[in-house]
Amino acid sequence: MTAEKGSRSWVESANGHPDFPLANLPLGVFSRDGDEPRGGVAIGNFILDLRAACEAGLFGGEALSAAQAASGNSLNAFFALGATARKSLRGALQELLGEGNSQRERLKGMGESLLQPMDRCQMHVPAKVGDYTDFYVGIHHANNVGKLFRPDNPLLPNYKYVPIGYHGRASTIDVSGATVKRPNGQTLPPGASEPSFGPSKRLDHELELGIWIGQGNARGESIPIGEASGHVAGFCLLNDWSARDLQAWEYQPLGPFLSKSFATSVSPWVVTPEALEPFRCAQPPRPEGDPQPLPYLYDEQDQQHGALDIELEVLLLTDAMREKGLPAQRIALSCTRNMYWTVAQMVTHHSVNGCSLQPGDLFGSGTLSGSSADSLGSLLEITQGGKQPLELASGETRTFLEDGDEIILKARCRREGQASIGFGECRGRVIPASS
């Protein structure tokens, strides 16, 4: 069964669903009423319980092995199986959930033992993250931030040769919906000669694509660029929360530390490379005069088909908006085509020194701002470092995030002849710092 436009499911809410039609089928880890977390698949307004499906004998062969690996309390074992097993499970799921399944009445009769209502379930981080690396591949964000600090030289010379990144903190990655406590730390107030300690006053969000690693590589061996895309298990949304005042004081000479490690939010569903295949596109050409990537980072197939066309959205919801019954306000609309480096180039560069990647490792793309004022993926850029407050429909203004503010990230893929798919939401609400 194909996932082309017109493919329908006997799960009625999946047909025309903005995020989870039959063409998507992302995987995640859920629980209900405090029971044990387990693997599931999003289909319309429901979660297909993979453990229940396996016990009911709904899969066979390689699809059964893949479903069993994905039915535990993390997806690491499933990620480790690689693309062949992932495709087998996807094919079986499309057959199982497709409108033409001859057993659909039996499956409907299984009710909530098979399909759990999504709004009654709790989602969890889909994999146990061993290592987390945040990249900086959003060219417009890099330029915008560089201009704030180096107006005459916004991009350092290495940017167009190296997929820049830093190692983040896996222990503070949390799933959408978890609150984000404002961090304490050292800052150097304007005009001061010594730092002070206290809550961050310049808390910010960053709009990013998350990349889940599947099969890894042995230590000391690198992943060739032509094989790198095969090491990606899926994608999510990622908010790299940032304390800009802590960052300004600490980042030289070794880069981000406490300004980033206090919180990272991810959306709960892992959208597979297969679901995104119709939305692949050519990597945008480099501007004239930019250097060609070094040979280990260049593959013609990757340049022609290695980019993704995913619409990215940021919304802000404040306490005042909630009190007035106002909806969240869109503050940015961008796209993954703003990535200067492809995902495959990120994977290859990360491993080229012999660093071993492992199933469940997580990459962040870096902030994916666009070139226009309405496509900026952080308040640092939107407000020009706090100099130009953002005006909200509620009558409020923001330079940086206040307690009670909630950032909501969304993503959508659209293409003529294909069912549109989404990622679900990545939400995080700011709560006050510890006293």
Annotated binding-site positions for substrate = 136, 150, 247, 251, 367
Q: What is the CA radius of gyration of the chain?
A: 22
Secondary structure of residue 305 in the 3-state scheme: helix
Per-residue pLDDT, 386: 97
What is 23-88 written as a DSSP string?
TT--EEEEESTT---EEEEEETTEEEEHHHHHHTT---HHHHHHHHHHTSSSSHHHHHH-HHHHHH
pTM comes to 0.97
Handedness of CA 187, 189, 194, 196 (dihedral sign): negative
DSSP 8-class letter at 155: S
Annotated binding-site positions for Mg(2+) = 240, 260, 264
- Token duo for residue 392: 């909200």
Alpha carbons within 13 A on the beta-carbon side of 9:
27
> Is residue 242 exposed (0-12), middle (13-18) or buried (19+ Cβ within 10 Å)?
buried
Q: Which residues are catalytic, by number?
A: 141
Which residues pair with residue 185 across a beta bridge?
198
- If we measure between CA atoms, which residue out of 124, 136, 114 comes closest to residue 58? 114
In angstroms, the CA 360 to CA 277 distance is 21
Tens-of-pLDDT digits for all 435 residues of the chain? Answer: 344 445 899 999 999 999 999 999 999 999 999 999 999 999 999 999 999 999 999 999 999 999 999 999 999 999 999 999 999 999 999 999 999 999 999 999 999 999 999 999 999 999 999 999 999 999 999 999 999 988 888 999 999 999 999 999 999 999 999 999 999 999 999 999 999 999 999 999 999 999 999 999 999 999 999 999 999 999 999 999 999 999 999 999 999 999 999 999 999 999 999 999 999 999 999 999 999 999 999 999 999 999 999 999 999 999 999 999 999 999 999 999 999 999 999 999 999 999 999 999 999 999 999 999 999 999 999 999 999 999 999 999 999 999 999 999 999 999 999 999 999 999 999 999 998
- Token duo for residue 137: 């591949």
Which residue ranges form the domains of the chain, and what is each CATH number? 12-124 (2.30.30.230), 132-431 (3.90.850.10)
* Cβ atoms < 10 Å from Cβ of 200: 24
> Is residue 193 exposed (0-12), middle (13-18) or buried (19+ Cβ within 10 Å)?
exposed
> Is residue 255 exposed (0-12), middle (13-18) or buried (19+ Cβ within 10 Å)?
middle
Per-residue pLDDT, 20: 98
Long-range contacts of 296-301 (CB under 8 A, 24+ apart): 296/222, 296/224, 296/225, 296/348, 296/352, 297/163, 297/225, 297/341, 297/345, 297/348, 297/349, 298/225, 299/225, 299/226, 299/344, 301/226
Q: Residues near 16 by Cβ (< 8 Å), separated by ≥ 6?
A: none
Annotated binding-site positions = 134, 136, 150, 206, 208, 240, 247, 251, 260, 264, 367
Annotated binding-site positions for Ca(2+) = 134, 206, 208, 240
